[in-house]
Amino acid sequence: MRKIEVTTISLALGSIFLLAGCSFQFQTKPVVKTTGEVIKVPAVEKAEPVEKKVVEVKKAEPVEKVPEVKEELANTHTVVKGETLWDIAGYKDVYGDPTKWKLIYEANKDILDSPDSLKPGQLLVIPRE
């Protein structure tokens, strides 16, 4: 029995010292020793000056104003299958605003029974204000 106790105690103490030694190694900081030696760094060569270029800037001459081109607005419209007065009034060359469909209807009451009675091929008058 005595051998087992001594061996167990030896193992336990050995493990403690081993662990203590490992943790001690991880906690130590490296030491840097200075020699006092001066290190000389080679001097940087001076760059040669870059040749400067001078550019003359002239004032721009005025350009003739280009006249604005106004799109011709349609005075009539031929109905295509599936179109509504709302669609026609929304076209850029008509009004560009679908809510003005009533103007087209009022101007074409003589050929339209109702706003929904458009037939392909009908020629509608587009009134201008």
Give the whole-number percent of the chain exceeding pLDDT 90: 40
Average pLDDT, the chain: 76
Q: Are 79 and 118 in contact (CB under 8 A)?
A: yes
Q: Phi/psi of residue 2, each to 5°?
A: -65, -35
Map out the domains of the chain as residue ranges: 1-30, 76-125
| Phi, psi (degrees; rounded to nearest 5) at 123 | -100, 115
Superfamily (CATH H level) for 76-125: LysM domain (3.10.350.10)
- Place 125 in a pLDDT band, splitting at 50, 70 and 90: very high
